[in-house]
């Protein structure tokens, strides 16, 4: 199979740069809105993040599992804007499907057994500590989701440092959400830290995947 089409798309275009800038602006608006307590700004900016990042990735020839993972993240973002109890489980389900897409994307690339043991220990410790404080109806779903998330974070390291950091930040972001659900003490403006780590995670996973699969010129990192 010829590699000419991929090579032709290797350099970021004006469209991809514009989409990346738009993603950065939306992220800035969202984070500043959270710091300022401007809920409307957050509700407007948050649903724009993943579609802009997905569009950016598509202009650089993103594989379908990457695009699907980002759009499923968008579904989770929108669902979690609602305070209704079913929305939390549905949002978690959307993110879980996105993690499956990431795992398909990562394939069977080599990863460190030591890192795997560290993630397993972190997963077990977190679930054990959170379990008594989680609502009874969320314990099993959160434990299952956490297992899938930890697997995604671990497997992301097979694509290199950028994706590995993205996976770790995703795990951190969702752990912050879980501690909030468990009613543990929170950092000041907890939603800011959740979104900061989440946005960074999705961007690093995207940039790391594109760089690993198509070379450094595929990403503007």
C-alpha dist (Å) from residue 168 to 127, 154, 177: 16, 8, 15
Using CB atoms within 10 Å of the CB of residue 110, give its burial: 0 to 12 exposed, 13 to 18 middle, 19+ buried. exposed
Q: What is the pLDDT of residue 11?
A: 60
Residue range 91-102, pLDDT digits in tens: 999 999 999 999
Q: Is residue 146 helix, strand or coil?
A: helix
CA distances to 63, 91, 141, 166, 194 from 48, rounded to whole Å, are: 21, 16, 27, 20, 17
pLDDT at 215: 72
pLDDT of residue 135: 95
What per-residue confidence (pLDDT) applies to 84? 84
pLDDT in tens, the chain (221 residues): 334 344 444 467 899 999 999 999 999 999 999 999 999 999 999 999 999 999 999 999 999 999 999 999 999 999 999 988 789 999 999 999 999 999 999 998 889 999 999 999 999 999 999 999 999 999 999 999 999 999 999 999 999 999 999 999 999 999 999 999 999 999 999 999 999 999 999 999 999 999 988 775 544 44
Per-residue model confidence as pLDDT tens digits over 47-69: 999 999 999 999 999 999 999 99
């Amino acid at each position: 199979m010829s590699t000419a089409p991929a090579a032709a798309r290797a350099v970021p275009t004006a469209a991809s740069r514009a989409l990346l800038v738009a993603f950065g602006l939306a992220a800035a608006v969202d984070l500043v809105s959270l710091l300022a307590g401007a809920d409307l700004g957050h509700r407007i900016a948050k649903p724009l993040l993943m579609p802009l990042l997905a569009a950016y990735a598509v202009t650089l020839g993103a594989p379908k599992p990457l695009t699907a993972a980002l759009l499923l993240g968008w579904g989770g973002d929108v669902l979690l804007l609602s305070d209704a109890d079913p929305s939390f489980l549905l949002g978690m389900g959307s993110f879980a499907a996105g993690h499956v897409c990431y795992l398909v994307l990562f394939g069977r690339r080599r990863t460190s057994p030591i890192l795997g043991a560290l993630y397993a220990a972190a997963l077990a410790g977190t679930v054990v500590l959170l379990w008594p404080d989680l609502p009874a109806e969320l314990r099993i779903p959160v434990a299952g989701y956490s297992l899938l998330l930890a697997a995604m974070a671990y497997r992301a390291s097979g694509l290199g440092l950028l994706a590995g950091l993205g996976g770790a930040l995703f795990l951190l972001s969702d752990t912050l959400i879980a501690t909030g659900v468990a009613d543990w003490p929170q950092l000041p403006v907890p939603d800011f830290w959740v979104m900061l780590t989440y946005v960074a995670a999705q961007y690093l996973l995207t940039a790391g995947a594109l760089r690993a699969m198509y070379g450094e010129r595929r990403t503007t990192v």
